[in-house]
Structure 1
Amino acid sequence: MRRIYRRREARDRDAPSVPLPRSVDSLSGVEFEVLAVSLVLRGGFGTARVVGGPGDMRVDVIATTPGGRTVRFQCKQYRDPQRRVGAEVLHQLADRRLRSGIDEFVVVTNGSFSTPVRGFADAHGIHSIDGETFQRWWNGGETLDGILRR
């Protein structure tokens, strides 16, 4: 009986806890943030919560690894998945990171990043998860740990 319970618990832990009846592109910004929290927790983080809203200082989700490392997420959900995250978003995050000593920042979007914007993110230690990577993460084809180690 214990074995069955453990298997069920592992299956539930590994499954997305936010079933989506429609595409990621049709989610609201808040639904996208809630989905990100679900995926972060599925990825083994100890805690994750939505903190976004007016005056969120470019942080929508705060998560903590079991080892105590804090990772902050900026979620950019666009109705048009062809839209690119603007350079100003990354500039603000880089500035905030320098001023506050934040461990890690991740920008996650259903859209994309231009080559210069992705290069800026990489140069400033900001992880960027585009729409294609997000879909693989959501579908279980990639783990958050694997994405963050790139």
Structure 2
Amino acid sequence: MTTPLRRTPLVKRRRYGFDLRSTALFFVFLAVLVSVLGLAARVAAGAVERRPAWVFVLVAIAVGGCLGLRRRWRLAGVARRAAAALDEAAREAAEVLEAPTVPTQREPALADADTVGVAVDYDALTPEEFEEAIAGLCERDGCTEVEVVGGAGDLGADVLAVTPDGRRVVIQCKHYGESHRVGSQDLQRFGGTCFTVHEADVAVLVCTSDFTAPAVEYAEQCGIVCVNRDALEAWTDRTGPRPWEAALEGGEAGWETAGAGI
């Protein structure tokens, strides 16, 4: 008996060949891509060279772009933040370049005090700033050797100065509220050190409120010049006498007498 032969099925083999057209298109696409990337790199380098601050913006945009491949919805937020940061940096740089040079002075609150009639908001100052402001008034009016010495162990002296005519001024500053008047005890403590310890020729107590009657009486007896809120404002805007001038006018009797009617 004849047994039929089985034919082995033909296996289709994948043919590999060289395709000139596909290869050429691939290299053309690659060349275009490299050219675009090179142009972008040159533009970015030029921008960074002109404005170094932009390197941070470019890095932020690049990082945002990478993250955007995973989460595209974050890309817009990153770009907005980068643009806002760039705009803020540009504004700050412009303000720094355009800001005029302002002379250094002891107390900014006295920037306009050289003009008659200009008021200073002493209530807005801290006690330390108030002492600096009083020292600034002394400097403005020609005093020399002006020094702020207030603090622990000052023995009642907050500001020391020498008047234009050579007298030594010792000033104590009381930054009180309107309803808190300076009492006789404050004057007594100051009176016990201003002349004997600090060797004052003119002793002055300046406050942002007022003095009690016993305090004024004690000051008149000891020769301490009392500068209340009204007298301080008059000193500031040049409509009243300086404390050392008031001492001479009042015969060392104090501002309350010498500056009456201000």
| TM superposition score normalised by structure 1 | 0.79
What is the match of residue 42 of structure 1? Answer: 140
Partners of 2:149 and 2:180 lie apart in 1 by 24
Partners of 2:109 and 2:141 lie apart in 1 by 12
Contact (CA 8 Å) 1:43, 1:143: kept in 2 or not?
no
What is the match of residue 12 of structure 1? Answer: none
Q: Does 1:89 align with 2:181?
A: no
Contact (CA 8 Å) 1:29, 1:77: kept in 2 or not?
yes
Higher helix share: 2
Q: How does 1:17-32 map to 2 (within 5 A)?
A: 18-19=110-111, 23-32=121-130
Contact (CA 8 Å) 1:52, 1:60: kept in 2 or not?
yes
What is the match of residue 246 of structure 2? Answer: 147
Percent of aligned pairs with the same residue?
A: 30
Contact (CA 8 Å) 2:170, 2:194: kept in 1 or not?
no
Partners of 2:133 and 2:200 lie apart in 1 by 23
Q: Secondary structure at the match of 1:85?
A: coil
Q: CA deviation at 1:66?
A: 3.0
Partners of 1:31 and 1:123 lie apart in 2 by 30
Q: Which has the higher contact order (CA 8 A, sep 6+)?
A: 1
Q: Which amino acid in structure 2 is aligned with residue 61 of structure 1? A: V
Q: Secondary structure at the match of 1:117?
A: helix
What is the match of residue 4 of structure 1? Answer: none
**Deviation string, structure 1 residues 68-110 (Cα, Å, up to 9, x no partner):** 32110000012x2221112221111222145334322100011
| TM superposition score normalised by structure 2 | 0.47
Contact (CA 8 Å) 1:106, 1:129: kept in 2 or not?
yes
Q: How does 1:74-85 map to 2 (within 5 A)?
A: 74-78=172-176, 80-85=177-182
**Deviation string, structure 1 residues 39-87 (Cα, Å, up to 9, x no partner):** 1122221231211111111100000123332110000012x22211122
Gaps of 5+ in 2: 1-107, 113-118, 250-257
What is the match of residue 70 of structure 2? Answer: none
Q: Secondary structure at the match of 2:193?
A: helix
Q: Which amino acid in structure 2 is aligned with residue 95 of structure 1? A: G
Partners of 1:27 and 1:52 lie apart in 2 by 15
| Count of aligned positions | 134
Q: Which amino acid in structure 2 is aligned with residue 45 of structure 1? A: C
Larger radius of gyration: 2
Higher strand share: 1
